[in-house]
Amino acid sequence: MSEAIDISALVRKNILEMKPYSSARDEYSGSASVYLDANENPFNTPLNRYPDPGQQTLKRKIGFLKGQKMENIFLGNGSDEGIDILFRVLCEPGRDNVITVDPSYGMYGVCAEINGVERRSILLKSNFSLDPDAVLEAVDEHTKLIFLCSPNNPTSNSLDREAMLKIIDGVSCMVVVDEAYIDFSKGAGLLPILDEKKNLVVLQTLSKAWGLAGIRLGMLFAHPELIAYLSAVKYPYNINSLSIEAAMEGLMETGQQRDWIREILDERDRMIKELESLDIVRMVHPSDANFLLIQVDNPSEVYQFLLNKGIIVRDRSRVPLCEGSLRITIGSKEENRALISALKTKQS
Ligand SMILES: *Cc1c(COP(=O)(O)O)cnc(C)c1O
């Protein structure tokens, strides 16, 4: 169905008709020697200058690393900005709907509520696999977005590629595949086929494998036509100079990133064995990410016990399909060791 996708037909009427704010740096983006166009302070260089609203340098770098053209990239204040701006550009409050496949990342639902958009929740199967037909059945002519998260948070598994493709090829709305954890995954994800799927949106982030959650830098990859609408709606200077600089520096360190990932994955495999050997752990779900979902007998009690020892994990036991479960991030060797020793004292 990819060829039949009409992106402008999915965009809200007010967005189609709006005239974007034009900043001083939008109107002149070349390089001059005297800048008297933006009412900046001439002192305190370099932070006295507004950042590039088009983030050209950073997009070039990310495009090179990811094998994508700059026109396919939107950068946001975390992936969360990408998620919210999709709602604001595509979903008419009170009329349109989105579909989430749960349990999954909470921001999809929060953004739906904030934007006054109906959310249709489809459950994963009990083994956490995706049921594409159940998703397709929930789609109607007002469905604008379908959110798939792979590897999925909090279940830690990747969704089946063919099942995701069945959904993408079976609808005329946008399908967002959140790949926040893709660098920890065995699979390559869907970014390599972005050019073939006009209704595919891929979200990635510098918050996890790149170790840069503090700078808030999310990457959204999509068809250039959608990127143009998102760019017209975003705050002009949504990525600040310090974040751009830290991202440029961080992205140079590809060797270090590989080492971190390898170390985290080694620790994850070691932690799976350690956790499985504890009596209070009923099961550790297979993980394709940098965290584990484990089942214990008394999740709230274990959570509180760890908290009293200064160790914070995530209690997911009230989430559908995750009854009895805690979500545990893979930390440093020392942090992981502290968790295991604490759990051992709980056991005895
Ligand atoms: C952590 C996470 C993100 C990252 O969000 P940022 O706003 O980029 O920090 C996105 N999606 C999922 C599913 C996550 O777990």
Please report where in the chains the tokens 């900005």 appear, as a residue. Answer: 81
- Residues 98 and 186 placed together within one structural domain of the fold: yes
The count of domains in the chain is 2
- Residues 169 and 133 placed together within one structural domain of the fold: yes
- CATH code for the domain of 108: 3.40.640.10
Strand partners, 221: 73, 202
| Spatial separation of the C-alpha atoms in residues 257 and 272, rounded to whole Å | 22
Cis peptide leading into residue 51 (ω within 30°): no
Q: How far is the CA of 205 from the centre of ligand 1 (A)?
A: 7
User: In a mutational test of the pocket of ligand 1, which residue from 85, 101, 105 has the highest number of ligand atoms less than 8 Å from its CB?
Assistant: 105
Report residues whose beta carbon is within 6 angstroms of any ligand 1 atom: 78-80, 105, 149, 153, 178, 180, 205, 207-208, 213, 218
Q: How far is the CA of 212 from the centre of ligand 1 (A)?
A: 12
- Residues 193 and 58 placed together within one structural domain of the fold: yes
Q: How far is the CA of 151 from the centre of ligand 1 (A)?
A: 11
Strand partners, 174: 145
State which ligand 1 atom lies nearest to the alpha carbon of 80: 7
Q: Six-digit token pair at 123?
A: 């459950």
**pLDDT at residue number 32:** 81
| Maximum Cα–Cα distance across the chain | 71
Is 78 within 8 Å of 218 (Cβ atoms)?
A: yes
Phi, psi of 220 (to 5 degrees): -120, 125
Q: How far is the CA of 30 from the centre of ligand 1 (A)?
A: 34
**pLDDT at residue number 2:** 55
How many helices (H) and strands (E) in the chain?
Answer: 13, 11
Q: How far is the CA of 153 from the centre of ligand 1 (A)?
A: 9
Q: Whose CA is nearest to atom 15 of ligand 1?
A: 153
| Spatial separation of the C-alpha atoms in residues 113 and 100, rounded to whole Å | 13
**pLDDT at residue number 4:** 82
**pLDDT at residue number 47:** 96
**pLDDT at residue number 37:** 87
Q: How far is the CA of 86 from the centre of ligand 1 (A)?
A: 15
- Residues 235 and 303 placed together within one structural domain of the fold: no
Which residue, 252, 277, 301, sits at the end of a domain?
Answer: 252
- CATH code for the domain of 321: 3.90.1150.10
pLDDT tens-digit profile, the chain (348 residues) = 555 899 999 999 999 998 878 887 777 767 788 888 889 999 999 999 999 999 999 999 999 999 999 999 999 999 999 999 999 999 999 999 999 999 999 999 999 999 999 999 999 999 999 999 999 999 999 999 999 999 999 999 999 999 999 999 999 999 999 999 999 999 999 999 999 999 999 999 999 999 999 999 999 999 999 999 999 999 999 999 999 999 999 999 999 999 999 999 999 999 999 999 999 999 999 999 999 999 999 999 999 999 999 999 999 999 999 999 999 999 999 999 999 999 999 865
Which residue, 252, 281, 299, sits at the end of a domain?
Answer: 252
* Closest by Cα among 195, 201, 196, 139 to 170: 139
- Sorted by sequence, the CB contacts under 8 Å of residue 36 that are 6+ apart come out as none
Which residue, 196, 220, 252, sits at the end of a domain?
Answer: 252
DSSP assignment, residue 71?
Answer: G
**pLDDT at residue number 69:** 98
**pLDDT at residue number 321:** 96
User: In a mutational test of the pocket of ligand 1, which residue from 62, 74, 75, 79 has the highest number of ligand atoms less than 8 Å from its CB?
Assistant: 79
The crossing angle, in degrees rounded to 10, of helices 224-233 and 79-90 is 100
| Spatial separation of the C-alpha atoms in residues 37 and 24, rounded to whole Å | 6
- Residues 307 and 291 placed together within one structural domain of the fold: yes
- Residues 157 and 298 placed together within one structural domain of the fold: no
**pLDDT at residue number 19:** 83
- Residues 299 and 160 placed together within one structural domain of the fold: no
- Residues 96 and 120 placed together within one structural domain of the fold: yes
- Residues 248 and 331 placed together within one structural domain of the fold: no
N-to-C CA span, the chain = 58
* Residues spanned by the domain of 120: 2-252
